[in-house]
Amino acid sequence: MYLGDAWCFIGIERHTKLILAFEFAKRTETSTNRFMAKIATATDPEVPFQLTTDGLATYPSAATWGSA
């Protein structure tokens, strides 16, 4: 049975290589927001960090989601 495609979003801390968050889902705005919310809870909001992506169109809005 074909269930469709799925992607694994992975947030890795660059120095320790520990996985901060992951999301196994389709590449949708909802799954991107869910992944970024996990990243937000795993990081200190006062400490800036580098976000590198593959260019998925939903990342820019997800990266600023909830930052108002």
Containing domain of residue 31, as a range? 7-64
**Element holding 25 (H helix, E strand):** strand 19-25
With a cut of 60, say whether residue 36 has pLDDT above it: yes
Chain CA centroid to CA 4, Å: 21
Q: How confident is the model at residue 1 (pLDDT cuts 50, 70, 90)?
A: low
Our count of domains for the chain comes to: 1
Quote the mean pLDDT of the chain. Answer: 88
| CB atoms inside a 10 Å sphere around CB 32 | 24
In this structure, is residue 38 part of a structural domain?
Answer: yes
In this structure, is residue 39 part of a structural domain?
Answer: yes
In this structure, is residue 17 part of a structural domain?
Answer: yes
Give Cα separations from 40 to 3, 5, 6 (angstroms): 30, 26, 22
Give the bridge partners for 23, in sequence order.
9
Q: Provide the token pair at 63.
A: 């990266």
In this structure, is residue 1 part of a structural domain?
Answer: no
pLDDT at 68: 44
In this structure, is residue 25 part of a structural domain?
Answer: yes
